[in-house]
Chain A
Amino acid sequence: MQPFKPVLLEAVGVPDGNTLASYKSRGGYAPLEQTLAGRQPADVVEMVKSSGLRGRGGAGFSTGLKWTFLPKDHPGPIYLCVNADESEPGTFNNRILMEDDPHQVIEGIILSSFATRASTAYIYLRYEYPTAWHRLQAAIDEAYAAGYLGKNIRDSGFSLDIYLHRGAAAYICGEETGLIESLEGKRAWPRIKPPFPAIEGLFRKPTVVNNIETMACVAQIARRGVDWFKSIGVPADPGNPRDPGSYGPKLYCLSGHVEKPGCYEAPLGITARELIDHFGGGVWKGRRAKAVIPGGISMGLMTESELDTPLDFAGPGRVGCLGLGTAAVVVIDDQTSIVDFLHNSCRFFAHESCGQCTPCREGTSWSLRMLERIKAGKGRLKDLDLLAEIGNTMGMMPGSTICGLADGAAWPIKNAIKKFRGEFEDYIRSTNPSGWMVTDPVPALQIVGAH
């Protein structure tokens, strides 16, 4: 594997790397000053569009294209919401960026606001990140003091205020319209689309929602150029007209049963095996991996034999996973029960389902209760068919829910049942020797709370 010098994580390990002085010494804010001095918003949009930057929040939608959906000549206000509600289990790349290099993020936000003509930007920060909260607020204050934020920045006529909003700890607030509802002070129930946020978003005004890492990438593209960005990653698959390619560096959050868990920067397209072996020091205790989550638990599971799949935006989909997601790679070793894994996953999604759409609200809770019963030694083989049916019918893709949370809840279920069905069957047979084959309803256990 080619050596790769971290760019987004440049400040990690640098003493006081989170301060303005340190960031400027590394070349920060210079691209912003140049942009404000001589470029038009449309130039910045074009730059980001031509860089092929795809949103780092999970869905991988083209950032520049998203910006162009904003209505032309809108009288305003237009809002930029930066999604820092990083709640996908296993994901911590935004946290590193906000804690160790907040100015990189802020520069990206200022550039993006300039490009989208937004004069107000909100950072929606998850509650559980107190350090990021303090450092980000300190960095915003520094940027105001240095004149990078506020009215008429650097005499360019462009004004921007950034507000740091701390959420109240709900997974669903990371869904873009749930985030918007929450920012408006409402219950974070995702909105029905259309209208999409670019047309009618925060406070019913055109709104762009972007991820923290996307903002950092915008800052780096402005500093290092489109060609540098496009030199990294995987070009578009000529056989797939819907694949725009996966360019740029990506922060991979490696956790689980590896020797050296952590957040690593690598070019998009690194395979899971390379990531685990090269960065993670291999599976811990000399064991083998049984399964790997490619990008947060909502993306599903890859088996050991699928570890050579490139972790770009298109790769995990080719092995039946939902996608790259947040690139949070969680390794599950061969001594871990997939039944336990799925139980944990179902417990998370049953707890985090916002409860708006019937299939997700009831499906997540039902699947959890079936897993609880299986774990209590009362499972039956027919439960697996039911679980698979829930997994296959719940979500935005079959059209049965409003947002993608349900797809994320469904994917681990259907991947686990499909790829590890034998293990489930063995578990059920061995734990429920007298009842595994029963097909009549039996009384269930006392329902156990998700907490």
Chain B
Amino acid sequence: MPVVIVDGQEIEIGADERLNCIEAARRAGAEIPHYCWHPGLSVVASCRMCLIETGQRDAASGKITMMPKLVPGCQTPVKDGTVIVTKSDLVTSSRARVEEALLIDHPIDCPICDKAGECLLQDYHFQHGQAERRADLHPFTSRKRDVGPTVTLFVDRCIMCTRCVRFTREVAGTAELMVTSRGAKEEIDVFPGFPLDNKLAGNVVDLCPVGALGDKDFLYQQRVWFLKREANVCGGCSAGCSIYTEHNQDTVYRLKPRENPHVNTWWICDEGRYGWHHLHDPARLVEAGRRRPAERGRPTEYETVEWADLVVRLRDDLTRAGRLAVAVSPMLTVEEAWMLCAVARSIDPQAYLAVGHLPTADSDETFPGGFTIRAEKCPNRRGVEAVVALFDPAVHGWSDLLAHVGGGNADAAWITAGYPTSGRGPWIDTDTAATFANLSCLVVQDMFDSPLSQLASWRLPAAGFAERAGTWVNVAHRAQAFEQAIRPPAGVWPEGRLFWNMLGRRGLYDPSAVRRQLAESASLAALAGEIPAHGVDLRIHQLA
């Protein structure tokens, strides 16, 4: 195995691993500061922050020969015997000078900068910078301009790492951003009439190591040090991108991509990035209600039912109604789906189980960098199918369910939905909803009002993606488990909690307990044990 010597410490790397000095040093616990290098982008070696001393140890004699000059760690590959020195005086003074140079024209407006607190320029200045400013040049300018519908550029905060430019060229393939002018006058800009407007545009804000690119959606909303983050999974499409939900006091402020080499690498799409606003939409259903008997001349009214009562009364109503048909929404987690099926079968042992409505767009969209936005706009179709198959090997779909109910084979239906349709119109039209009009009991569990919920005898609120806990299985059969990030609006029980209680289980809803149970079946055996942060391939046992 090749051995790399980082600050005197020997570390082994894989025989066929191609690491640069930054990656190798990180293995040894030494951080080489860098701005322009990003593992997902091409190497330009232009910020010169990662300059280090390197050398080569001769395999036979053990003699170390050092290179006479500094080299950029990002551009220098390591091999057996590579010596990396990250803490010498030469390196330290070089870093201090780069920091000093970057701050010559920087407005140093941290108090009003959104990046403050997670800014590399700040962090590195504290670690590597000089205490005293020698470049006593004034005045600073602080200009900003729009570069696109979602992104604002704070021109003078920019350190010209060109990560954003490379991202639009290499990953999004749209190349809106460019560098204009020369020398210290150069700036990031867009060509007039061609704004930064692509479906991955928000990533440039994450890539920006300083506060130059600001996300208009997040700008001035919250100081980053107030935010807490929870590792979540995006519910926007079947890609199931790993994300962080960043929130404070049960309010989500932004979503950030979470690095996952098996799913989304470093990126997420804008649809997912801004796809949390429905969580705080005032139009959300927040009360569990049972329809009052109709009264002439008055609109339909629901009496609010306490959740603890609901657990009993819902079961009674459904038992009384008779033959039950259930739509298991692909927005539910695997655990929730399984509990729903179990509840349904405990009410009616012959209950008809089907995967719920699958919202879809036209087609998958793949970008030059390999990132794909899926057409299937729900996160857990594969997981729900696997769960339903445990109860009924002939997995029915939504259209099967419509035919089943429309054919008069059901007396009651329980439709779980939870689609984030805020601002986009209901997921079901009036004609389709009419299929369920004549049932003696219709339970609809959804986030927003729809033609279907207007027919419901039980109208229950559903939880949003950050309010759930459990496991989603993405388009590539990768199961990712996540915890609840925020609490749902007051009064709402997430589906998991309701089903848990309806099953008569004790204590708080515990997804891992359900998962343990699920893992006993062969098709979901991969869910056994702790699920790693990057998820697990459901087919892993079948492949072996």
Contact = CB atoms under 8 A, between A and B. Distances in A.
Nearest to A382: B134
B182 A170 contact: yes
B45 A402 contact: yes
A102 B293 CA distance: 100
Contact of B138 (A170, A393, A398, A443): A443
B82 to A, nearest CB: 16
Interface string B156-199: 00011000000000000000001101111110000000000000
B47 interface: yes
Contacts of A357: 46-48
B91 to A, nearest CB: 11
B97 interface: yes
Interface in A229-245: none
Given A369-B137, A398-B70, A441-B136, A359 B101 contact: yes
A175 to B, nearest CB: 13
Contacts, number: 104
A356 B181 CA distance: 11
Nearest to B68: A399
A353 B101 contact: no
Interface string A434-451: 000000011110110010
Contacts of B183: 350-355, 361, 364-365, 450
A23 to B, nearest CB: 39
Contacts of A350: 183-184
A393 B90 CA distance: 10
B160 A361 contact: yes
B98 interface: yes
A397 B69 contact: yes
A153 to B, nearest CB: 39
Nearest to B134: A386
A446 B140 CA distance: 10
Nearest to A172: B182
Contact of B94 (A363, A393, A441, A450): A393
B440 to A, nearest CB: 70
A174 to B, nearest CB: 14
Nearest to A349: B183
Interface string A332-371: 0000000000000000001111111111011111100100
A172 B184 CA distance: 14
Given A355-B184, A400-B51, A443 B136 contact: yes
Interface string A73-114: 000000000000000000000000000000000000000000
A447 to B, nearest CB: 7
A401 B160 CA distance: 14
Contact of B48 (A354, A358, A450): A358
B138 A355 contact: no
Nearest to A395: B69
A199 B136 CA distance: 45
Nearest to A171: B182
Contact of A362 (B43, B102, B139): B102
B133 A441 contact: yes
A446 B138 CA distance: 7
Contacts of B49: 358
B94 A400 contact: yes
A355 B134 contact: no
B433 interface: no
Contacts of B137: 366, 369, 444, 447
Nearest to B136: A441
B71 interface: yes
Contacts of B104: 362, 365-366
A322 B159 CA distance: 30
Given A187-B179, A400-B70, A361 B136 contact: no
Contacts of A359: 48, 97-98, 101
A399 B69 contact: yes
Interface in A105-132: none
A353 B184 contact: yes
A439 to B, nearest CB: 10
Interface in A212-229: none
A393 B48 contact: no
A145 interface: no
B538 to A, nearest CB: 41
Given A351-B182, A355-B182, A361-B184, A366 B135 contact: yes
B370 to A, nearest CB: 21
A444 B135 CA distance: 10
B44 interface: yes
Given A393-B94, A399-B69, A400-B48, A354 B182 contact: yes
B45 A192 contact: yes
Give the dominant DSSP class at A's interface.
loop
Contacts of A364: 183-184
Contact of B46 (A172, A402, A442, A443): A402
Contact of B179 (A351, A355, A366, A397): A355
A94 to B, nearest CB: 23
Contacts of A393: 94, 97
Contact of A358 (B138, B159, B185): B159
A362 B105 contact: yes
B75 interface: yes
A401 B48 contact: yes
A450 to B, nearest CB: 8
A44 to B, nearest CB: 35
Contacts of A386: 134
A353 B184 CA distance: 8
Interface string B104-143: 1100000000000000000000000000011111110000
Contacts of B97: 359, 393, 400
B43 A358 contact: no
A402 B97 CA distance: 16
Nearest to A192: B45
A435 to B, nearest CB: 12
A442 B136 contact: yes
A22 B303 CA distance: 105
A396 to B, nearest CB: 8
Interface in A180-196: 187, 189, 192
A96 to B, nearest CB: 28
A427 B167 CA distance: 49
B506 to A, nearest CB: 61
Contacts of A450: 183, 185
Contacts of B45: 192, 402
A181 to B, nearest CB: 12
Interface string B16-58: 0000000000000000000000000001111111010000000
Interface string A396-412: 01111110000000000
Nearest to B46: A356
A398 B182 CA distance: 23
Contacts of B181: 355
Interface in B178-227: 178-179, 181-186
A361 B75 CA distance: 20
Contacts of A397: 69
Given A351-B182, A393-B97, A397-B69, 16 more contacts: A192-B44, A355-B160, A355-B181, A355-B183, A357-B47, A358-B48, A358-B102, A362-B184, A363-B101, A364-B184, A365-B104, A386-B134, A400-B94, A400-B98, A441-B134, A450-B183
A-B residue pairs, 5 tightest by C-beta: A441-B136, A399-B69, A365-B184, A362-B101, A399-B70
Interface of B: 43-49, 51, 69-72, 75, 94, 97-98, 101-102, 104-105, 133-139, 159-160, 178-179, 181-186
12 contacts: A192-B72, A355-B183, A355-B186, A358-B159, A358-B160, A361-B101, A361-B160, A366-B101, A400-B94, A402-B45, A441-B133, A444-B136
